[in-house]
Chain A
Amino acid sequence: MRRSGLLLPLVLFGVLALVPGLRAAGVPLGGFWPLLLERVIVFAIAAMSLDLILGIGGLVSFGHAAPLAIGAYTVAILNEANVTEAALVVPCAMVAAGVFALLTGAVALRTRGINFIMITLAFAQMVFFAVSSLADYGGEDGYTLFSRTRVLGHDWLGANNFYVSALVVLFGVWLLLRMISLSRFGRALAACRQNRVRVRALGLDPFAIELVAMVIAAMICAVAGVLMANEAEFVSPAYGGWQRSGDLMVMVILGGIGSLHGAILGAFVVVLAEEGLGRLTQHWPLIYGPGLILAVLYLRGGLAGIGVRRG
């Protein structure tokens, strides 16, 4: 098990809560930074859900953009059908992503290691091409939403309220995943990462445990997809692109694998790198790419791992 203090996650949530806090105190806060942090929060939800299977379960999924795209496209498809109520949209997105994870996970989990990586990548690519060919929803060009999703009739996902709502979801997801990871199921999942044979010897079924974890992760990630579609008021196949899957993995690793809250740090660094470096130079990948390589080679344990021992 990893020792995970509560200090850093609470500091992170405190920092994220500064924006609405300052706004409530009457500081006129707008423009670049709050929007950037909105993106950080949404990506953090997706990355945190990946951390459940990647960090705790040790399953290297290179296809986590797929549930993200499924969530986002559920919003678009229901939007086209004039359904914008979150009480319908969110369950639909979660079920769709859950079923997808159940079917593809059942195939992918038959294999280990490199095969698992390549198969999850391939299935995500399948989603990418499938949504690219949805001509009714913009095909490769993407689809602009008519209106944002409403929550029980309230405008909670509107531009003014989005930040707080997303932050509440992130906090809820963090609590939920923390509870899962500390539960009997979470410990069994971590045990699958360490030694499947012993798990089986204990009378547990590693395949079932890992499959359930993949379904849970996909369902949470679909919520991030719903939020992402609302934040941009736009969905496109790029949501499910392989680079997006890669970015999510980078967030988890950079932030600190298996720590959950590390996903927030990782999302912050990656979003800031893309947006911040993108303002500096259009060739920002020339900094981001080598930085990533160096981080993998030298920064073990990620940002959240600095000062924390792993056992």
Chain B
Amino acid sequence: MILFVVQALNGFQLGMLLFLIAAGLTLVFGVMKFVNLAHGVQYMLGAYLGVTFAAHAGGFWPALVLASVVAGLAGLVLERLIFRHLYGRSELDQVLATFGVIITLNEIVRVIWGSSPLELAMPEGLSASFQLMEGLRYPVYRVALAGAGILVAVLLAFVVNRTRVGMLIRAGASNQEMVGALGVDIGGLFRLVFGVGAMLAGFAGVLAGPLVSVEPGMGENLLILAFVVIVIGGVGSIRGAFVAAVIVGLVDTLGRAMITDAAKALLSGPASARLGPAVASMLIYLVMAAVLAVRPTGLFPARA
């Protein structure tokens, strides 16, 4: 039971991390039909900048703000230099060019910060653990991370659904030419969405920093999970991204814990030890396949 609670909490927190990455990705795709594989790079950049700023700019909190902003700016620079030449090109071109961006930026990070993993210390105020239930202490930091994810989700939902900018974003997603014809600066709108998306990914990178090892290529595994999230949730939908992120986070974390046990109980002998991890690692993809088999456009398609 205790194990279950801990795993469920960890899973939810992984889900929030995924949501922060998937949100930017899904909005960018929704508005601009632009496939950005390099979105995971922003996450990595956020984590590395977090390490550097934490060491030189006075600890975790200033680093969180600075790294998010700088990661967002880096995203805007990339947009200016490369991505804007790709709007309207085929998805294949977009995938390949952003694949090139990943290769390049992973190496730049390697040149600047080295290949060996770095560590980002937890902020002191949140490094403690607290009594969650009888016999279970849980780190405050992980709860704070999940809280930050929920906060961002609420904020995004409010902006997208209730404000003028959000209205333009939704309008841009359903008919970009029409919005442009009505005199809205669609390029500016997109840069805003793109910058915010990059910033959120950077923000997620700093938040994840104390929990994972900060290393080149750290963004891609999470990016592919974020893809699974978007596919399950429905491309372009913030609500879908949130729900799917929680599902993926929970299924992945709980699956790894439970399938291995279940395999041990069901199959005796060494076969269980071999099969368990293999099946567990495939679980979220099977969930994705199941969702798509029923709803090819995902759980909450952005428009009919």
Contacts and interface: CB of A to CB of B under 8 A. Distances in A.
B104 A119 contact: no
Interface in A256-311: 257, 283, 285-286, 288-293, 296-297
A291 to B, nearest CB: 8
B224 A122 contact: yes
Given A118-B227, A118-B230, A111 B292 contact: yes
Interface stretch (B95-103, B122-130, B204-212): B95-103
Given A121-B224, A121-B227, A249-B95, A289 B100 contact: yes
A308 to B, nearest CB: 19
Contacts of A111: 231, 292, 296-297
Nearest to A132: B281
Contacts of B282: 126, 129-130
Contacts of B82: 293, 297
B29 interface: yes
A62 interface: yes
Secondary structure class of chain B's binding surface, majority of residues = helix
B100 A60 contact: no
A288 B104 CA distance: 8
The number of chain B residues touching the other chain, given as a range, is 35 or more
A107 B106 CA distance: 32
Interface of A: 54, 60, 62, 104, 107, 110-111, 113-115, 117-119, 121-123, 125-126, 129-130, 132-136, 242-243, 246, 249-250, 253, 257, 283, 285-286, 288-293, 296-297
A289 B101 CA distance: 6
B100 A293 contact: yes
Nearest to B85: A297
Contacts of A289: 100-105, 107
B285 interface: yes
B151 interface: no
Interface in B242-286: 273-274, 277-278, 280-282, 285
Contacts, number: 123
Nearest to A292: B100
Contacts of B231: 111, 115, 118-119, 122
Given A111-B292, A283-B110, A60 B95 contact: yes
Contacts of B280: 133
A115 B235 contact: yes
Among B85, B96, B297, the one with the most A-chain Cβ atoms within 10 Å of its Cβ is B96
Contacts of B91: 60, 113-114, 117
A16 to B, nearest CB: 26
Given A117-B35, A126-B285, A133-B280, 11 more contacts: A111-B296, A114-B91, A118-B227, A118-B230, A118-B231, A121-B227, A122-B224, A135-B274, A283-B107, A283-B110, A297-B85
